[in-house]
């Protein structure tokens, strides 16, 4: 083989190798992009959000639970040890401890967590009934009754937290009352659903 032909073969092999490497790199990048899109997909319809969130609660899946906490607004948990409510601002549910017994959030019977939405009018507080409600179960309604109570005005906390709490309360779209455990409040912010409040207070306990 002449020197010119040898040079031609070498150059051709180098170009082919570069093109193959570039194509492989592009294919790998596209695969990664598709994977990231799938990983970031979350439910948009509240009924799907309900099932997804309460499945995380039932399974004690702290990581999935935290995906429903807004990174800036956070989650406000309302408790009451005495006459007045107290407020805890949470960004990681694993770090939360109940004020009255220092147990973590999931220290209750998760068998009473339903993962299928039951759209009914919320139960009414009645201190003569079991658990302090006129009916028992887990009910969801597209209402915001928490904001009207202005409970944050009675909480011993900073003016900044009170202001954030009021702003967050005004974003609530759905309320879920589970008479066996807590009240859950969901907000839709920038097209995504978040759990913004959990009310752990028991009616008629004060």
Q: What is the pLDDT of residues 88-132, one digit of tens each?
A: 999 999 999 999 899 999 999 999 999 999 999 999 999 998 889
Instruction: List the end-to-end C-alpha distance of the chain, in Å, as a whole number.
Output: 99
CA atoms of 200 and 129, how far apart (whole Å): 18
Q: Indicate whether 85 pLDDT > 60.
A: yes
pTM of the model: 0.78
Q: Which of 153, 169, 189, 201 is nearest to 68 (CA)?
A: 189
The DSSP letter of residue 7 is H
What would the pLDDT profile of 38-54 be if each residue is shown by its tens digit?
344 568 899 999 999 99
- Spell out the domain ranges in the chain: 1-41, 46-199
């Amino acid at each position: 083989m002449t020197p010119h032909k040898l040079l031609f073969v070498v150059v051709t092999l180098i170009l082919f190798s570069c093109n193959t490497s570039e194509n492989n790199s592009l294919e790998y990048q596209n695969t990664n992009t598709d994977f990231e899109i799938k990983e970031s997909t979350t439910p948009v319809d509240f009924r799907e959000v309900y099932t997804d969130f309460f499945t995380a609660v039932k399974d004690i899946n702290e990581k999935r639970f935290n995906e429903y906490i807004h990174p800036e607004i956070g989650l406000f948990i309302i408790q009451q040890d005495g006459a007045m409510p107290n407020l805890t601002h949470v960004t990681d549910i694993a770090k939360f401890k109940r004020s009255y017994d220092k147990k973590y959030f999931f220290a209750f019977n998760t068998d009473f967590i339903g993962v299928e939405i039951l759209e009914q009018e919320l139960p009414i507080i009645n201190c003569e009934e079991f658990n302090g409600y006129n009916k028992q179960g887990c009910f969801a309604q597209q209402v915001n009754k928490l904001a009207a109570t202005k409970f944050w005005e009675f909480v011993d906390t900073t003016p900044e937290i009170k202001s954030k709490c009021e702003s967050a309360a005004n974003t609530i779209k759905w309320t879920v009352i589970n008479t066996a455990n807590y009240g859950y409040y969901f907000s839709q912010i920038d097209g995504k659903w978040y759990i913004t409040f959990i009310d752990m207070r028991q009616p008629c306990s004060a």
